[in-house]
Amino acid sequence: MTRTDALRQWHELQVSQLELEVQSAALAELGRQKREAEQGLLRYAGLFDQAPVCYLALARDGCIAGANRAAAALFGMPLDQLPGQPVERFLAPASQAALRALLARLRADGSSSAIEAQLFEDLGGGRVRIEANLDQAGDAIRMVLSDLRTREQHEAALRRAFAVLDTLGEGVAVADADGVIVAVNPAFTAISGYTEAQAIGRDLADICGAEAAQMILEEASWQGELAGRRPDGAEFQAGLSLRSLSGADGGVAGVVAVLTDISRRKQAESALQDLHRNLESRVVQRTAELLHTNGQLRQLSAHMASVKEEERKRIAREIHDELGQNLLALKLDIVQLNERMGGRQGRFARRVSAALANIDATLRSVRGIMNELRPSVLDLGLAAALEWLVNDFRHRSNLHYELALPGDAEMAAIDSETSLVLFRIVQEALVNALRHSRATQVTVRLEAGEGGVQLEVEDNGIGIAPSCRERPGSFGLIGMQERADALHGSFTLGEYEPGAGCRIIVRLPLLINQ
């Protein structure tokens, strides 16, 4: 091989290698472009499938070749069942002719055409906007459906929101991110005194205060009360609520301020406080009057009880002195007359015996009336009076009575007024036990010491229910309470337990007999 042939062969090899490198670079570029195209196709497919607007790909005959999820939701059919379905089957019969006309007038230059149509009744009968055009090859139709209800509802909701905002009783001001007011409603003008022209463009801090403006920068919301001044110099009071509006970047895009007129509420609160102070003063005054009246009533009650006891004593003495003595004298006269007759006339003797028996019964009745008014045994002391009273109740009923008294020295220390009160309370308690308790046993205990006198009357009956304690016409317990209060003592009725009986405790200060 000559040198020339070798050089030629080497040159051809170099050319072949360069061609291979060029071809490899071209193949690599084609691969990159293919991958980018595939990725772009995937992105397009994802956008197409997830788009909120209904996208359809139609064959020239109007049958669906492809659709996204929004179209499937609008037509109420699974996505995989839409291909092959004629799109006009989803439209109301009145709109199908318009759709066919739309498809017929599509041109190959890619220009779009649109109509408004109504969906089939089973799909809700809503109105949609249909926009379509041909692809470059003219073999397929691209179609976009927009639900007109959403836009109409949004516009209607926006109109309603503005109408509500204008009729709100609360003042509303909207400021931008810099705190400059951009919108207000009529109520804001009425509360703050700033007209719309005066308010728009003004710094929100001028009206709501620098402190509130600073707080809204530190927190998302703020509430408080505002004492402001209108342009004419008049003061106003309002409840202030500030809330920040978040922007797309997470920052503060604006501020909404809501003013609530609380001037009347403040006036009402002030009037209520004045009324409350006046009421407290009147309550204190009325309480003092009631306490004074109550004291007078207690004094009157004590005086009436004293007068009643004196009247009882006077009537008992008159009955003893007049009626008792007259009956006794009459009895003596009849006895003497009977002795003079010597029993000679049997009929007369029987009449005399009957008269004497009648006189004896009348004397017993008189003694009973006297004891009811004021037992003469009270003059012998409290111990004798209580023993007589308990024995009298033993004879009048089948109840078992027990009486426990302190020693003679302690009994002697009890003054006559206290003795009378204790006797009357025991008498009333025994009457109540006999009439209402259904008891089988009653115990009376009296204790005396340096601290005073304590009386307990206890039975094993049904007890006194709270509803019975305040029954109209029931003055027994009230009388005991008043008697104890008159001597600056205390009256306590044990807690009610059904079937656990009744216990009365009276404590009186001990006064030394003079």
Average confidence (pLDDT) over 238-250? 71
Provide the 3-class DSSP secondary structure of residue 121.
helix
- The distance between the two most distant Cα atoms of the chain, rounded to a whole number of Å, is 210
In angstroms, rounded to a whole number, what is the distance separating the alpha carbons of residues 171 and 379? 88
What whole-number distance in Å separates Cα of residue 93 and Cα of residue 90?
A: 9
* Per-residue confidence (pLDDT) for residue 44, from 0 to 100: 45
pLDDT given at position 121 = 81
Residue 182 pLDDT > 60? yes
pLDDT, tens digit, 9 for 90 and up, residues 142-157 = 888 887 765 566 566 5
What is the average per-residue pLDDT within 441-460? Answer: 88
What mean pLDDT do residues 345-354 have?
72
The tokens for 193 are 């005194």
Query: What is the identity of the amino acid at 106?
Result: L
Most confidently modeled range among 134-138, 393-397, 442-446 = 442-446
pLDDT at position 40, please?
47
**Sign for the pseudo-dihedral over CA of 327, 329, 331, 333:** negative
Say how far apart CA 303 and CA 483 lie, in whole Å.
Answer: 11
Helix then strand then coil, in percent of the chain rounded to 5, is 55, 20, 20
- What DSSP character marks residue 119? B
- pLDDT value of position 513: 47
Q: Which of residues 433 and 37 earns the better pLDDT score?
A: 433
Indicate if the pLDDT at residue 259 is higher than 60: yes
Is the pLDDT confidence value at 87 over 50?
Answer: yes
Burial category of 129 from C-beta neighbours within 10 Å (exposed 0-12, middle 13-18, buried 19 and up):
middle
Higher pLDDT, 238 or 308: 238
Q: Within 170-262, where are the H helices? A: 186-192, 196-199, 204-208, 210-218
Beta bridge partners of 333: none
Cα dist from 470 to 264, 432, 466, whole Å: 47, 15, 7
pLDDT at 298: 62
Single out the residue of 203, 242, 247, 204 nearest to residue 223, CA to CA.
242
343: pLDDT strictly greater than 60? no
- Count of CB atoms situated within 10 Å of the CB of 400: 12
pLDDT, one tens digit per residue, over 483-507 is 888 888 888 888 888 878 888 899 9
DSSP secondary structure string, 275-328? Answer: HHHHHHHHHHHHHHHHHHHHHHHHHHHHHHHHHHHHHHHHHHHHIIIIIIHHHH
pTM of the model: 0.40
Long-range contacts for 87-96 (Cβ within 8 Å, ≥24 apart)? 87/56, 87/58, 87/62, 87/63, 87/143, 88/62, 89/120, 90/119, 90/120, 90/123, 91/117, 91/118, 91/119, 91/120, 92/117, 92/118, 92/119, 92/120, 92/121, 92/125, 94/118
Torsion of CA 292, 294, 298, 300, to 10 degrees: 70
Distances from the Cα of 49 to the Cα of 52, 66, 323, angstroms: 9, 10, 124
Question: CA-CA distance, 216 to 177, in Å (whole number)?
Answer: 11
Q: What is the mean pLDDT of residues 379-394?
A: 85
DSSP 3-state of 377: helix
Write down the pLDDT at residue 445: 92
Which is more confidently placed, 13 or 111? 111
**Could you tell me which residues come within 8 angstroms of residue 311 by beta carbon, excluding any fewer than 6 positions away?**
none
Among residues 83, 44, 64, 61, the alpha carbon closest in space to that of 145 is found at: 64
Lowest-confidence pick of 139-148, 223-232, 318-327, 501-510: 318-327
pLDDT higher than threshold 70 for residue 417: yes
Average confidence score pLDDT of the chain: 77
Using the predicted structure, report yes or no on whether residue 437 has a pLDDT greater than 70: yes
Q: Which of 147-161, 259-273, 410-424 has the lowest mean pLDDT?
A: 147-161
Per DSSP, the three-state class of 489 is coil
Per-residue model confidence as pLDDT tens digits over 267-289: 777 778 888 888 887 887 787 77
Q: Taking 50 as the threshold, does the pLDDT of residue 452 lie above it?
A: yes
